[in-house]
Amino acid sequence: MTVEWGWFPDHAGELTRLTADHLATAVPAVLFGLLIALPLAVLAHRVRPLRGFVLGASNILYTIPSLAFFVLLLPVTGLTRTTAITGLTAYTLVVLVRNTVEGLDAVPERVREASKAMGTRPLRTLLTVELPLALPVIMAGVRVATVMSISLVSVASYIGYGGLGQLFTDGFQRNFPTPVIAGVALTLLLALAADALLVTVQRLCTPWRRGTPRSAPKLWKRA
Amino acid sequence: MIKFDAVSKRYPNGTTAVDDLSLDLPEGGVTVLVGSSGCGKTTTLRMVNRMVEPTSGTISVGGRNVLEADAAELRRGIGYVIQQSGLFPHRTVLDNIATVPLLLGWGRRKARARAAELLELVGLPADTSKRYPHQLSGGQQQRVGVARALAADPPVLLMDEPFGAVDPVVRTQLQNELLRLQEELRKTVVFVTHDIDEAVRLGDRIAVFRTGGRLVQCAEPAELLARPADDFVADFLGAERGLKLLSLTTLADVPHAPGRAIRADEPVGAIGRDGGRWRLVTSPRGEPLGWLDTDALPAGGTAGEAELAAVRPLRDTDSLLSALNEAVSSPAGAVARVTADGVLTGVTSRDAIHDRAGRSHADATRAAAPAAPSRTTAEKTRTTTEKPHEPAGEGVTPDDPAPDDPGPEAAAPAERPA
């Protein structure tokens, strides 16, 4: 298997387009995932009986094979980007909901109590105390969800929205490995870059944790 | 200022946390609620700002029924300090203190300016303002907790075992700071502790609770120690309650004889043999340095160069208890008395201290209940009419369900300085 380096400059435009396309599927998936996961997790955290149901439901979504998922969605959303994004969003939920619930659980009870005792109403406590304190765990989930989405986008090439994954189909069909290798390498780079970006964002958002050893599992020592 | 009227708190599982409590807390005084775990003292405290709702009865603060108030607004008007501070780990010290002013809509600038004032008031250096709670020591965190509670200048301050998680040295410092602040601010303070010594130090009045949420006795410390209402209270106060009583009396009216002190720069050869075996050596300014044994004088040199036995000089504000302690440990059997500046005023003998201690104790015990001096706003001593059913001591069972009082171990792990 040899890489034909000459292929790259000829296809620079296509690679850029596919990378942008890749992100245009992966990023909205994570954002929509967060939009759905946050209220669900808050609900699961506050209303104990709902907790098992919410966590269980997000787990079940995750167990549906990705290909089957797209097939199931096709009659509803057709061969569109919406189908790709919807499928990926469903997959991000499992880690986003779970991490958000765990992050909220980890907020020390006496801090919650203190907030209440100072005269802070529940919504304000959630927004200004609980969510900020849960942020490191939530962000750990966002990082996993992002990396996962970026790698899963290629599956959507079956419906034409695979981003860099289109290179795999292209390469396999023509028995020409260079685009496959390019696709793998770029997907990997994209995942690493996105993760580094998120670590930086997290550090900027949680100034109180700087210089402390305890933090969410890190792929990078420093951003 | 705070009035409990027939207040009870029962939990669905049948536990009674507080049982028919009627208590009137005077304005501007420190009332300490004491008792063992599960006696309802924390529940009582938390009902004042509706962190716990009573099952029956009414509670009013400043004449206003708390149950009719909006809970969040009520809480903004009542300072609250909890064990292990409960500071917000994600906010700087300054923003932690500014919490309630911000909730009250003061605006960020004014709230922070006020927070900076309070930082100084509780004795923290200005450079701590930008730090995060985990970067502070336990004692500093607790000071921030007090500052946060005082930020909006509430008339009432609730303190739930605020100094329970710090080491004894820091705890004493914090207690002194609280007394100093209280001298200045005159808040109505409700303070929960299980440490009777802390209660005696801080309280203008002490309310003793027993398991089952019953108030047994509420009285001024001296009266409580001298005349506990029943065996339960006596047992709770401990075997040394006579000594604790002495900790409440100061040395001020104990006479002292002019001490014939030796200045540190006097040569030992010049010391006369007529002043008793042990003589005090003072600095040229008059500060006691130690006791000199005139039976074992060195061959030469000055008194200051000789070996001296340690002395801990006492001021008029020190307690009879510390005087007794010093008299026992001093080789001369006497204590050195000094002015507020530390200059020797004289010496009091062990016997004189003993006499005064005995008299002080007798006075306190003899004082008949009706003639009890009402030093704080008159609230009659409330005593349960019944004697405890079980032998004293049994009421202190630690295995009580204690829904209100999880104890220090049950609390979330402390934020330790990195």
pLDDT digits (tens, 9 = 90+) for B138-161: 899 999 999 999 999 999 999 999
CB contact under 8 A, A119 and B73: yes
Q: What is the pLDDT of residue A42?
A: 94
Q: What is the pLDDT of residue B370?
A: 41
Q: What is the pLDDT of residue B378?
A: 34
Range of the domain at A190: 11-209
> Which tens digits make up the pLDDT trace of A59-89?
888 888 877 888 888 888 888 888 889 989 9
Q: What is the pLDDT of residue B367?
A: 63
Query: Would the pLDDT of B417 be above 80?
Result: no
Residues with Cβ within 8 Å of residue A24, at least 6 apart in sequence:
A81, A163
Query: Would the pLDDT of B137 be above 80?
Result: yes
Closest CA to A51 of A7, A105, A1: A105
- Contacts with B132 from chain A: Cβ below 8 Å: 207-208
Please identify which residue in the block is written with the tokens 């958002």.
A205
Chain A positions touching chain B (beta carbons under 8 Å): 108-111, 113-121, 129, 132-133, 206-208, 211-213
- Contacts with B91 from chain A: Cβ below 8 Å: 208
CB contact under 8 A, A114 and B87: yes
The beta-carbon neighbor of A116 closest among B51, B84, B90 is: B51
Query: Would the pLDDT of B384 be above 50?
Result: no
Q: How confident is the model at residue B109 (pLDDT cuts 50, 70, 90)?
A: very high
**Domain locations in chain B as residue ranges:** 2-77+154-249+383-410, 262-359
In a domain, A158, yes or no: yes
In a domain, A2, yes or no: no
- Contacts with A206 from chain B: Cβ below 8 Å: 90
In a domain, A6, yes or no: no
Q: What is the pLDDT of residue B272?
A: 75
Query: Would the pLDDT of B397 be above 60?
Result: no
| Distance of alpha carbon A114 from alpha carbon B44, whole angstroms | 17
Per the CB < 8 A criterion, the answer to whether B190 and B203 are in contact is no
Query: Would the pLDDT of A40 be above 70?
Result: yes
Per the CB < 8 A criterion, the answer to whether B246 and B320 are in contact is yes
Query: Would the pLDDT of A108 be above 70?
Result: yes
Least confident of A43-52, B65-74, B393-402: B393-402
CATH topology of domain B262-359: CBS-domain (3.10.580)
Phi, psi (rounded to 5 degrees) for B289: -110, -30
**Two tokens, residue B210:** 């027993």
Query: How far B72 CA sits from the closest chain A CA (Å)?
Result: 4
Phi, psi (rounded to 5 degrees) for A188: -60, -50
Chain mean pLDDT for chain B: 83
Number of domains composing chain A: 1
In a domain, A60, yes or no: yes
Q: B2-77+154-249+383-410: which CATH number, 3.40.50.10470, 3.40.190.10, 3.30.479.30, 3.40.50.300?
A: 3.40.50.300
> Which tens digits make up the pLDDT trace of B250-273?
888 888 888 778 888 888 887 777
Q: What mean pLDDT do residues B101-120 have?
A: 94
End-to-end CA distance of chain A: 35
Looking up residue A159, the CATH number of its domain turns out to be: 1.10.3720.10
Q: How confident is the model at residue A1 (pLDDT cuts 50, 70, 90)?
A: low
In a domain, A185, yes or no: yes
- Contacts with A108 from chain B: Cβ below 8 Å: 89, 412-413
- Contacts with B90 from chain A: Cβ below 8 Å: 129, 132-133, 206, 208
In a domain, A216, yes or no: no
In a domain, A75, yes or no: yes
Phi, psi (rounded to 5 degrees) for B382: -105, 125
